[in-house]
A and B are shown apart, each in its own frame.
Chain A
Amino acid sequence: MIQLSSEPIDPGHLLNGFCAGRATTGAVVSFTGLVRDEGGQAQALELEAYEGFTEMAIIGMAVAAKARFDLIDLMIVHRIGRVEVGQPIVFVATAAAHRRAALEACDHVMDYLKSRAPLWKKSFGPDGARWIEPTAADLADAKRWDQETNP
């Protein structure tokens, strides 16, 4: 399931739902990203998506990741709209027969989301608002997966 949500994310609830009713899955890995305060410089983030286009881009990546890591299932829930410090901004869960694939796939999906997903993010702080672009570290993280031939 791929979802852009303008409502708060409940990671525990999503994870329980994702784990339920599985027989062939041996490993579920989840990642929850929270909005950080950046040493007092950020109070909230606001995320903007291009309806339809953003979902299609994420789904395209998810289909490729599912095949690449031989996943049984994959869930991505990303917040859009305003998200306050301390609140979940993204939830990713991967299910595979064995742990290595589930761990690596989760890492891979997050690297994609942080650097290549069509989302626009604005940070609100005490000094006003500014648009955020991927950091050099985010881009380098994403590039790791282009170079590795064997996941």
Chain B
Amino acid sequence: MAKLLLFGRLAEVAGWREREVVLPASLLMLRSQLTLEDPALGEALAGAGVLAAVDQVLTRGDAPLLGVVEVAFLPPLSGG
């Protein structure tokens, strides 16, 4: 099992901020699964400036998720 985290307005759209999940093979597959389950979340994840962090490292595009323990989706940064 891995931890899936949502922050800011993404958590608000989804109605949850943390979940234990069995990760699919890749980040794109994870996005697709989430979109299938919750189209509103899928739309929010596809929005401009939304970043993904795989095991706390920012990741652009696709990435393999084999052995990964934490995936987070981050909305555009607000700054402090």
Measured CB to CB, the residues of A under 8 A from B are 33, 47-48, 50, 52-53, 56, 78, 89-90, 113-122, 131-134, 138
Contacts and interface: CB of A to CB of B under 8 A. Distances in A.
Contacts of A33: 80
Contacts, number: 61
A114 B80 CA distance: 5
Given A131-B8, A131-B9, A53 B79 contact: no
Interface residues of B, number: 15
Contact of A118 (B5, B9, B49, B77): B77
A131 B77 CA distance: 10
The 10 A-B residue pairs with the shortest CB-CB distance in the complex, in nearest-first order? A120-B8, A121-B78, A113-B80, A114-B79, A134-B79, A53-B56, A115-B79, A131-B9, A120-B78, A132-B78
B79 A50 contact: no
A133 B76 contact: yes
B56 A121 contact: no
23 contacts: A33-B80, A47-B80, A50-B5, A50-B72, A52-B56, A53-B72, A89-B80, A90-B80, A114-B79, A115-B79, A116-B77, A116-B79, A117-B80, A119-B77, A119-B79, A120-B8, A120-B9, A120-B75, A120-B77, A120-B78, A121-B78, A131-B9, A133-B78
Contacts of A90: 80
Nearest to B76: A133
Given A78-B80, A121-B78, A133-B79, 6 more contacts: A48-B8, A50-B7, A52-B56, A113-B79, A114-B79, A121-B79
A85 B8 CA distance: 20
A56 B74 contact: no
A113 B77 CA distance: 10
Contacts of B75: 120, 131
B53 interface: yes
A119 B53 CA distance: 14
Nearest to A129: B12
Contacts of A115: 77, 79
A116 B78 CA distance: 8
